[in-house]
Amino acid sequence: MIYLAIAFLIALAIGEKLISNGKGSPTFVTLILWATVLFLASFYETYFYTISNLTLLWICSGCFSFFVGGLFSKIFVDFKVPSTQVRPVRQLFVIPIYIITAFLAINMIKEGLAVNSNFYIGLRIIINYGDPDAFFIAFGYMYYLIYPVFFISAAAYYNDSLNKEAKRRFIFNFLFSIAYAIMATAKVKLLIIFITWICIRAYYKKNSTRLIIFSCLGFMAVFFLSLLALNKLSEGNGIIEVILSNIGNYTIANLYALDSLNFTTISSSYCINEGLDCIIMPFYDIGYFHTNVYTIIYDFFDVGYIAYILTMFVIGFLHNGLHKIAKRRKNSLIIIFSSILYFPLVYQIINNQYTSSKYLVYLFGITYLFHFFRKRKVETLK
């Protein structure tokens, strides 16, 4: 049955390509993403167990609903918006943000050293199992300011790639954002940077296969360097085994974790945080995979199948609509918004990042405010 589901998703992806004249789209990425996850899982059905038809139905129905939502947006969405080109955020705003971030990071390092001789392990212990103080809490929210600065600098640079000052700011903001994500010990924050950056670039120039490969290798390098700092690569496992197991933990394992629940929610008594809400989900082990993420579908167990289908339709409609406006009007602000939305889109195979927090609202809002308070060049497309 899993191969029939894969064939269905690939057929939809081919149809989406034809409708989009061979160009990429949020719908195409969603379909290929889920088809890839199912394809990888198909190799393990013999060793583990067969993915249930109900799970496959939810996945295929959600993808089809996303496809239909995108199709409706292609037909009905055609807003005439000005072709606004963003400019880098003024240093008057950026420098204080970076100084405050550095100050918070220094204090975090001191507290990490008080817990463990390896400050990075100390940071992780405090964040995950300790009682983070004001320095940690404030640092955790700084990406609401740092990332919009980077996103705007990326759009400004790719819109005028010959501008040396724009290039310099782009590189510096990119490196600072990476350093922030590493200090936050959160791969989610690292992934937001890489996905949004690649998508912003794609709106201005075609991403080569080499760039995609090097970007993925860059992300993996930073990710595994952080694992090395946390001593998670010193347990006798080879680097290839660690890479494969980590890829499996966030693709194959979460699919099996979802399927193992039989569409019933996990009792809070099993959650790691032991609170009223299941903030840290219990781990699921299968083979040599180890995960505590259950895909976007888990969040819809309580509200039901119809709610999931409608939600995917709305997301497909909105994201494809933004994508269409960004491609046609070359509005840098819309390009940034559409690119940010690719993160929760990709992350749906891990968990729900669309409605699980308000970070999207903050990133959109602060990006707009930075843009609003900067002198802009506006040219209306007719």
Contact between 173 and 324 under an 8 Å Cβ cutoff? The reply is: no
pLDDT at 364 over 50: yes
SS3 state of residue 162: coil
- Give residue 378's pLDDT: 44
- Position 291, amino acid: T
SS3 state of residue 186: coil
What residue has token string 């406006």?
325
| Alpha-carbon span 105 to 101, nearest angstrom | 6
**Choice among 9-18, 308-317, 348-357 with the minimum mean pLDDT:** 348-357
* Interval 204-224: pLDDT, tens: 988 777 878 888 788 877 877
- Position 365, amino acid: G
* Interval 76-130: pLDDT, tens: 877 777 777 888 898 889 999 999 999 999 999 999 999 888 888 888 888 877 7
* Interval 55-82: pLDDT, tens: 999 999 999 999 999 999 988 877 777 7
**Residue 365: which pLDDT band, with cuts at 50, 70 and 90?**
very high
Q: How far is C-alpha 258 from the chain's CA centre? A: 19
Predicted TM-score of the model (pTM): 0.89
Contact between 52 and 259 under an 8 Å Cβ cutoff? The reply is: yes
The radius of gyration of the chain from alpha carbons, rounded to an integer in Å, stands at 21
| Alpha-carbon span 140 to 101, nearest angstrom | 10
Contact between 85 and 324 under an 8 Å Cβ cutoff? The reply is: no
* Interval 238-266: pLDDT, tens: 666 777 777 888 888 999 999 998 888 87
Mean pLDDT to the nearest integer, 283-303: 88
pLDDT at 309 over 50: yes
Choose among 195, 181, 186, 183: nearest CA to 151: 195
Q: Which residue has the higher pLDDT, 256 or 356?
A: 256
pLDDT at 375 over 60: no
Contacts 24+ apart (CB under 8 A), 258-267: 258/55, 258/294, 258/295, 258/297, 258/298, 259/51, 259/52, 259/55, 260/284, 260/286, 261/294, 261/298, 261/301, 262/52, 263/54, 263/301, 264/301, 265/298, 265/301, 265/302
**Residue 272: which pLDDT band, with cuts at 50, 70 and 90?**
low
